Amino acid sequence: MGLTGGQVDRIDAILGPAGLLAERLAGYRHRPQQQAMAEAVAAALAAGATLICEAGTGTGKTFAYLVPALLSGRKVLVSTGTRNLQDQLFQRDLPLVREVLEVPVRIAMLKGRGNYLCRYRLDAALEDHRHRSAGLRRQLLMVREWATVTASGDVAELDLPEDAPVWPAVTSNSDNCLGQGCPEWGRCHLVEARRRAQGAELVVVNHHLLCADLSLRDEGFGEVLPGADCFIVDEAHQLPEVATSFFGTVVSGRQLLDLTRDLELAYQREAGDVPELLDRAAELRRGVLDLRLCLGEEPRRGPWRELAENPDTVRALEEARARLRDLRTALAALQGRGKGLDSCLARGAELDQRLTLLVEGGEAEDIRWYETQGRGFRLHQTPLQVADIFQSQRERRPAAWVFTSATLAVGEGFEHFARRLGIEDARTERWESPFDYNRQALWFVPRGMPDPGTDAYDAAVAELAAPIIEYSRGRAFLLFTSHRALRAAARALEPRVTYPLLVQGSAPRAELLERFRHLGNAVLLGTASFWEGVDVRGEALSCVIIDKLPFASPGDPVLAARIDALRRRGGNPFREFQLPQAVIALKQGAGRLIRDDRDRGVLVVCDPRLLSRSYGWAFLDSLPPMLRSRELEDVRRFFAADAG
């Protein structure tokens, strides 16, 4: 797989030291790694081949795949990990590169159904005056006003939090969408977004939509992207978990409660003369709430056998299923009375089928488990592995594939990632970050830390962090592997730290990050969601402290099932799965520190196992080549020089 001389020259004329980007973009810096990646991507797209590549932080991988994608003359799908990355790619990076290249490529962005205003549900919510708080009323009025001017219907346009209570009321999901039976079908924002995607030559989606398109599970809208012959998957390290979740079965308390609420709305519009419908909805609601109580107050994830061994929980689950069937029976008697009622009937049938599958069990190797959080719960059946599923979906659509991320390799190899998705015969490439880590960063592992499994460990982490935060003058992320450890550190540091302390859970994630950037001297304590996808450049983030090596909890039911299966096959679960996953997670956390060639900072890994256990080399080989020290005084000197 290679490029002709003319194709190489074309890439050089754009990304080279004297290329178009250098000529037209202020502040652009030529990076050999970026140019090499662009050439590798161009070769994969031209040959219809598969490329797995890691590009270190600062490589500029977005431009490295957008340039060949826009020049390819093919229909390209670019998949990213999050909606924020989608927005950045579509609204900033993609238009910029297209303008510089002066290519008339039609582009589009497509998000999941819940990201678009549903006019039908907005009208219904405005008519519904039950149980409405003043805050929800204000938000509904904001949405109503915005609905008259928005062209795309993308809820990201409106300055409301992602978890605002208004969104479930004015957006649809695969359960409650009326499809072509909706009276607003002709003006549907989602239908229009999909129409634009089908007509575009480059479409930006996310990993969940990628899985939906591959599997043709598109909830009644048909195939989204017929004819796409090049797939570029950015933040590809997230794809195996997204695919595992997507190809499983889930029933949540929220889905069941949403059904009762939507039924009550449909009742007001279409069946006001059948009050027993409201009784059936109320009975199902009580059944769902009783089941949640039986699952225990504390947030947790547990294997299905724990649920099945508790007679009260089994009884509550069966009671909820019975109430759902009663509701289905009542709705079946009214079939044809109205679109809303018919939609609720179809949803009830689907939820009943999923619950039956969950209770009775599906494929022998599928994992059944449950989780609780706040007032909600979710019942899962998850495939043990998705390699066969994903590979079979790819084989149905011969195409070029590029999988890229800053964190795909473990050491020099990509075997772990490729094995999880069943990818064979791929070309692999890895480019180091262009940053000068020896000059810009110090890596510190303290002496004398207790074993992470002991009760004294959390206190020792806080004791170590307190002086380092003073040396760094705030400007720090403290990343934890558990909420329990985060809460313990927050309690210990609050009276000792003289800088603003921002704690995950005290405000929405986006708000905490905005305050962190604005304050310039804050200390942010976070868990999993802050380990990746966070880009804070400049002095505001100058220190990252990681409490433990990020091994997944062995009590997690999905991990426990994978470990058992690997063991039964004669494999080594720790070496084959747990260690590679932890290495990639640590690379993500460490990657928060240096985001620009002018950044300077200290990475602190508190966990003594990094140097005391034989597996520590796997982490060390995957971290950037920073200066290393075990002396706290070196940390003080680093920040003192920084201040000078």
- Give me the residues paired with residue 117 across strands: 171
pLDDT at residue 267, rounded to an integer: 87
Residues 296-309: tens digit of each pLDDT: 988 889 999 999 99
Same fold, 5-105+201-245+385-431 and 249-382: no
pLDDT at residue 283, rounded to an integer: 96
pLDDT at residue 218, rounded to an integer: 47
Q: 3-state class of 109 per DSSP?
A: strand
In this prediction, residues 276-294 reach a mean pLDDT of 94
Q: How confident is the model at residue 2 (pLDDT cuts 50, 70, 90)?
A: low
pLDDT at 425 over 70: yes
pLDDT at 474 over 90: yes
Q: Which helix (H) or strand (E) holds 233?
A: strand 230-233
- Which amino acid belongs to residue 96? L
Name the CATH superfamily housing domain 249-382. Answer: 23S rRNA-intervening sequence (1.20.1440.60)
- Give the whole-angstrom CA distance, residue 61 versus residue 243: 23
pLDDT at 556 over 80: yes
The domain ranges of the chain are: 5-105+201-245+385-431, 113-190, 249-382, 437-643
Share of the chain above pLDDT 70, in %: 96
| Second-level CATH architecture of 5-105+201-245+385-431 | 3-Layer(aba) Sandwich (3.40)
Where are any strands of DSSP class E within 374-518?
376-382, 400-405, 427-431, 441-444, 476-479, 501-503
- Give the whole-angstrom CA distance, residue 546 versus residue 531: 10
Residues 221-267: tens digit of each pLDDT: 455 666 788 999 999 999 999 999 888 899 999 999 999 988 988 88
Residues 379-420: tens digit of each pLDDT: 999 998 899 989 988 888 789 999 999 999 998 899 999 999
pLDDT at residue 8, rounded to an integer: 65
Q: Any idea which fold 437-643 has?
A: Rossmann fold (3.40.50)
pLDDT at residue 224, rounded to an integer: 61
Residues 558-610: tens digit of each pLDDT: 899 889 888 988 989 999 999 999 999 999 999 999 999 899 999 999 999 99
- Give the whole-angstrom CA distance, residue 490 versus residue 493: 5
pTM equals: 0.92
pLDDT at 184 over 70: yes
Are 225 and 213 a contacting pair, CB within 8 Å? yes
Residues 318-376: tens digit of each pLDDT: 999 999 999 999 999 999 888 889 999 999 999 999 999 999 886 667 899 999 988 89
